């Protein structure tokens, strides 16, 4: 299965850690959204497209959102999403899914785990979720990856 993962990971590289784990498990091409270029332009050449983002003030990263909004409308492209966040909330993925649905993607699975967070005022207390994503989070990402291959 030809797969690509497009992600954005800032600050502590929480999302990148999960992106690399999933990419390794499903043998996907891995691409930071900042490095996307014309050679990757045609996403319907892929059987599976993954999008990953950290959550910033309750939203996916602006680079991922802008990327999705600016690509050509897809025709039911099989897609999965994953997020890392200071808080363990699934509604972050619902908002992410809604953006993709509007652009013609068919989101078949989603994953979320906590990540080390020192964004904004949280840095004043030394951050939250130090050490996350941890080994258990990575194992859960591997299990999630296997479900994508079914």
pLDDT of residue 132: 93
Helices (H) and strands (E) in the chain, counts: 4, 6
pLDDT of residue 90: 65
Q: Domains of the chain, with CATH numbers?
A: 3-148 (3.40.50.360)
How far is Cα 33 from Cα 142, in angstroms, rounded to an integer? Answer: 22
pLDDT of residue 105: 96
What predicted TM-score, i.e. pTM, was given to this entire model? 0.92
The answer to whether 110 and 97 are in contact (CB under 8 A) is yes
Task: Look up residue 25 and give its two tokens.
Answer: 């498990």
The angle at the Cα of 139, spanning 101 to 99, to the nearest 5 degrees, equals 10
How far is Cα 48 from Cα 57, in angstroms, rounded to an integer? Answer: 28
| pLDDT tens string 50-81 | 999 999 888 999 999 999 998 888 899 999 99
């Amino acid at each position: 299965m030809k797969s690509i993962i497009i992600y954005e990971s800032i600050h502590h590289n929480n999302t990148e850690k999960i992106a690399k784990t999933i990419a390794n498990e499903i043998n996907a091409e891995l691409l930071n959204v900042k490095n996307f270029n014309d050679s990757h332009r045609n996403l319907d050449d892929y059987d599976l497209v993954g999008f990953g983002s950290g959550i910033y003030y309750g939203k996916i990263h602006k680079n991922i959102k802008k990327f999705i909004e600016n690509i050509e409308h897809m025709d039911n492209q099989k897609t999965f999403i994953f997020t890392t966040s200071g808080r363990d909330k699934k509604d972050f993925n619902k908002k992410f899914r809604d953006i993709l649905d509007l652009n013609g993607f068919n989101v078949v699975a989603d994953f979320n785990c906590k990540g080390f967070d020192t964004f904004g005022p949280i840095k004043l207390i030394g951050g939250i979720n130090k050490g996350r994503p941890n080994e258990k989070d990575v194992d859960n990402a591997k299990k999630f990856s296997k479900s994508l291959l079914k």
